[in-house]
Structure 1
Amino acid sequence: MAMFKTDPVRPAEYRAFERPLPEWFRGSALGIFVHWGPYSVPAWAEPTGELGAVPREEWYAHNPYAEWYANTIRIEGSPAHRHQQEVHGGAPYDDFLDQWKAEEFDADEVLAVVAATGAGYFIPTTKHHDGVTLWDAPATDGRNTVARGPQRDLIAEFADATRARGLRFGVYYSGGLDWHFSDLPPIDRDDAPAPDDLAYAEYAHDHVIDLIDRYRPDILWGDIRWPQAGIEPGPKSLAHAFQEFYDAVPEGVVNDRWGESHWDFRTSEYVHGTAVEVGEAWENCRGIGLSFGHNRNEGPEHLLTADEAVRLLVDVVSRGGNLLLNIGLEASGRIPDAQRQTLEGLGEWNQRFGHAVFGARPEPRLQPSDEPWVRWTRTDGAVHAVTDQPGSIRLSDPDRLLDESSARIGDLPVPASRDGDAIVVEVADAATPVAISFRPRD
């Protein structure tokens, strides 16, 4: 699969889809992801660590992703299996679908919070690995949120609210896994079998075509891979789905988790797959916590603070990427309070300093630093140093690229002087990182 590989190869039949990355995506800097499903009812996982930091031999039985609950509870001896027996009496997973009511869900309210972050796009899960669809998808035989649980087309509500706020709308679809359709054993290792047959490939193809026809998404965000039987060209192949997508949405983009087929941009996840974070066509995704789905076991120590989210966003943008930051909605449809605080704090920072990230490019001639923490970006006519150190700051500028007399924070000039290979800037005490902007000499 192309996912996380440093040297994926497009098959000849997919090369026709190659084209420059649309500027709207490249300049967005920030997208917001939402994971929401029946797994939000138990909302349970072990907060063991970030993907890429937990040993692979421990990952599946001790999975920190609450959205993997349907798999983890089937691994004998896992803490999730014990939890399901002790708390839920070993009930079938689909009981959670019927218990999921989304009684407090207001898509407009969720998107108001999302839009306030400054994000350029929004992507909800339409079908995760449990196979439950959040719209009335073809051939699901009522195993969807229109027929059961919320009894609503949640994707339509998300799409309408997203576009009403002026954001681009994307859809997440798990093509590589479907634990309900495939009826395979639980995944307990990296090389566990996944559905590759033609029946599943055509089923998934029809779902993607339906998403395109109904919602005209700007982003197709696949996950894990695509069934191998659907890669070869044909009337229900992935190539056909991509052609339908680009015909309907010429400025649309797709990620790299559709098997080794085609992609417009690469993706990393938490600290896993970071070797693909090169150039200016990549995106890092992660939750505010250690899980994408809502996890009641997560405390403040597991969540990004607003300042940490700011530093992550700036770091990603300074290296040429976008950040896709995830919310795990509660079963009721509410944004958890702690996650909302992070989003609101990120939005407040972006209101003041978003000029340093939105539409920004890396400035490779100036080097980042961790002591003090400094990251560099560039926009038309300005170079920005983002730092979280107050007081007197030395910014290395050995090639004298910057005009020190032009130093500003927002609209206000700040004292700055040249000292050999550095510019010394005096920054008042601040509770959050600041962006110091300069006029370049070139």
Structure 2
Amino acid sequence: MTNESASPEEWQQLSRPTPEWFQNSPFGIFIHWGAYSVPAWAEPIGALGTIDDDRKWFTHNPYAEWYYNTIRIDGSPAQQYHKETYGGGDYDDFLDQWKAEQFDPADWVELFKFAGADYVVPTTKHHDGIALWDAPGTGERNTVRRGPRKDLIGEIASAVEAKGLKLGLYYSGGLDWHVRPFPPHITSESVHDTARPKDAGYAEYAYNHVVDLVDKYRPHVLWNDIEWPDAGKHFGGHGLGTLFQHFYSTNPEGVVNDRWGATHKDYATSEYEHSSQSESESQWENCRGIGFSFGYNQVEGPEQSLTGKQLARHLTDVVSRGGHFLLNVGPRADGTIPEIQRQALTDLGRWMANAKQYLVGGRPLEDAPAESQSDPWIRWVDRGTEVVAFVDSQGEGAEAALELGPDRFALAKASLAGPGGSVDFDGQVLKVTLTADRLGPVIVRIPRG
């Protein structure tokens, strides 16, 4: 094979049926943990996709994991904070200050499993270029040689396997501000095109990293971010096509996301409210943090964070539209999960203990009643022999009327699955009454007629 860019037909040859495990995995946990968790600072200005002004987004970036970029933007509040708090010191000082002294991966994964997660996707290397394993070609600039002095990915992978969950691995193939430094990003165009590395040298560097991750940890998901260097988009030596072939041969049930440029994917992704067009594809995943940041942001509080009940709604909404939900956790530098995040996951898990069985394998309901964006809040999932309605409201004693064709569904046989309310069929309308003690949306099972 040559090293010329592959044709659409060559990429198409990688297409395959979606593995059953992924189809039946509605919920995953993302982990953003890095040297950026030491300063743990960003301005919580809002969610990605809600701020159209590029300059505002990057200068006031709510993503704490982008700290290295934001502090290099002249006049940014992050630059001022960095100067006042750290004397404007070198970013790599944070790697040495990052000790992970209370890191307990078994505790993490136990929490994730309790929350109802099916797969776990830790960040192996973010845009700052610091690897969380002894990555080839990184010298001393990884967590085995400096800082925590541990193979963090290896320890997380072992804990995930021990709990019977699937492992995914995030890798920033599109950016590496250390190996390929560029001026700070202040536009989306610079991130995705004009100021990302595209050369063959970086393509080989990234290829060697991801192959090493595949061989060492045998992930089920490869979650690339931003793009892939253009000079590596081929099926030759160190080519992305060759990488995909190696991954699938190592794990025939593996899947890859869509952030490799115009090459190949098993599923599409959206992020917060950005790239919502991806949510019309046959397989897609929405990712977001509990707050506005992925990396831990000490500035965020309850007002920026979703509760367990709100997470249950978001997960249900995603599944009702055919998607998967990848929820991010941002640990502190010491390895502890912030209480706001831990509580949200715990509360979600209490609801998922009953609800998950009605989400797994669920599909969007064709010809479903129009979605209600306000009160009452209703989402539908098709489970073949029955449909399931997830009903919620801001009020405590609210009522919802489920309007379905009586010729299609046995409304008189509808039943409540779990606590939180009651159902009543008066011969015409199926009414759901919600109680104040519900953990999340109330679940109503309706057999097909």
TM-score by length of 2: 0.93
1:23 to 20, 44, 57: 20
- Which of 272, 275, 288 matches 1:273? 275
Q: For 1:299-318, what aligned pairs fall within 5 Å after superposition?
A: 299-318=301-320
CA distance in 2, matches of 1:30, 1:244: 26
Q: Which residue of 2 aligns with 1:133?
A: 131
The amino acid of 2:118's aligned partner reads: G
Q: SS of the residue aligned with 1:369?
A: coil
Matches within 5 A, 1:42-441: 42-55=39-52, 56-192=54-190, 193-367=195-369, 368-370=371-373, 371-389=375-393, 390-398=397-405, 400-410=407-417, 414-418=422-426, 420=428, 422-432=429-439, 433-441=441-449
Q: Distance in 1 between matches of 2:406 and 2:414?
A: 17
Q: Is the Cα–Cα contact under 8 Å of residues 392 and 434 in structure 2 kept in the other structure?
A: no
Describe the SS at the equivalent of 1:262.
Answer: coil
1:411 and 1:187 map into 2 onto residues whose CA distance is 49
Whether contact under 8 Å (2:423, 2:430) holds in the other structure is no
Q: Distance in 2 between matches of 1:189 and 1:151?
A: 35
Deviations 1:337-393 (A, max 9, x none): 000010011111000222221221111222232331000012243211111134432
Aligned length: 432
Structure 2 letter corresponding to 1:169: L
Contact 1:356 1:378 in 2 (8 A): no
CA distance in 2, matches of 1:355, 1:394: 24
Q: 1:366–1:396: 8 Å Cα contact kept in structure 2?
A: no
Q: Cα distance, 1:419 vs. partner?
A: 5.3
Distance 1:330 1:179 in 2: 22
- SS of alignment partner, residue 59 of structure 1: helix
Q: Secondary structure at the match of 1:91?
A: coil
Greater Cα shift, 406-415 or 189-198: 406-415
Cross-structure match for 2:38: 41
Contact 2:26-2:325 at 8 Å conserved across structures: yes
Tell me the distance in 2 between the aligned counterparts of 1:382 and 1:399: 13
3-state SS in 2 of match to 1:191: helix
In 1, are the aligned partners of 2:418 and 2:443 still within 8 Å (CA)? no
Q: Which amino acid aligns with 2:182?
A: L
CA separation in 1, counterparts of 2:179 and 2:78?
22
Tell me by how many angstroms 1:429 deviates: 4.1
Partner Cα separation in structure 1 for residue 256 and residue 173 of structure 2:
13
Change (3 A) 1:280 1:15: closer
Work out the CA distance in 2 between the residues paired with 1:423 and 1:164.
44
Alpha-carbon offset, residue 72 of structure 1: 0.5
1-side partners of 2:303 and 2:9: how far apart?
47
TM-score by length of 1: 0.95
> Over aligned residue pairs, what C-alpha RMSD do you find?
1.6
Does the CA-based 8 Å contact 2:221-2:256 persist in structure 1? yes
User: Contact 1:284 / 1:323 at 8 angstroms: preserved in 2?
Assistant: yes
Distance 2:423 2:183 in 1: 64
Task: Give unpaired runs (5+ residues) of structure 2.
Answer: 1-5
- Secondary structure class of the residue paired with 1:437: strand
Question: How big is the shift at 1:418?
Answer: 4.5
Per-residue CA deviation, residues 205-256 of structure 1 (Å, 9 max, x unaligned), is 0000000110010000000000001113311011111010000000100000
Q: What is the rounded CA distance, in whole Å, between the counterparts of 2:38 and 2:238 in structure 1?
A: 34
Partner SS, residue 146 of structure 1: coil
Instruction: Give the aligned partner of residue 3 of structure 2.
Output: none
Secondary structure of 2:18's aligned partner: coil
Partner Cα distance (1:27, 1:10) in 2: 32
Is the 1:281–1:320 Cα contact (8 Å) retained in structure 2? yes
Structure having the higher strand fraction is 1
State the Cα distance separating 1:104 from its structure 2 match: 0.2
Change (3 A) 1:428 1:189: closer
Amino acid at match of 2:288: R
State the identity %: 49
CA distance in 1, matches of 2:183, 2:91: 15
What CA deviation, in whole Å up to 9, does each residue of 1:248-292 have, x standing for no partner?
000100000011110000000000000110143000000001000
The residue type paired with residue 425 of structure 2 is: S
Alpha-carbon shift at residue 427 of structure 1 (Å): 4.2
1:404/1:418 contact within 8 Å kept: no
Q: Is the 8 A contact 1:52 1:271 kept in 2?
A: yes
Counterparts of 2:418 and 2:435, CA distance in 1: 15
Aligned to 1:3: none
Tell me if the contact between 2:285 and 2:323 (Cα under 8 Å) persists in the aligned partners: yes
Is the Cα contact below 8 Å between 1:10 and 1:260 reproduced in 2? no
Q: Is the 8 A contact 1:404 1:416 kept in 2?
A: no
Query: d(CA) in 2 for partners of 1:419 and 1:37?
Result: 58
What is the distance in 2 between the residues matched to 1:220 and 1:244?
Answer: 12
Q: Which moved more, 1:178-187 or 1:426-435?
A: 426-435
Regions of 4+ moved over 6 Å: none
Contact 1:306/1:342, CA 8 A, preserved across alignment? yes
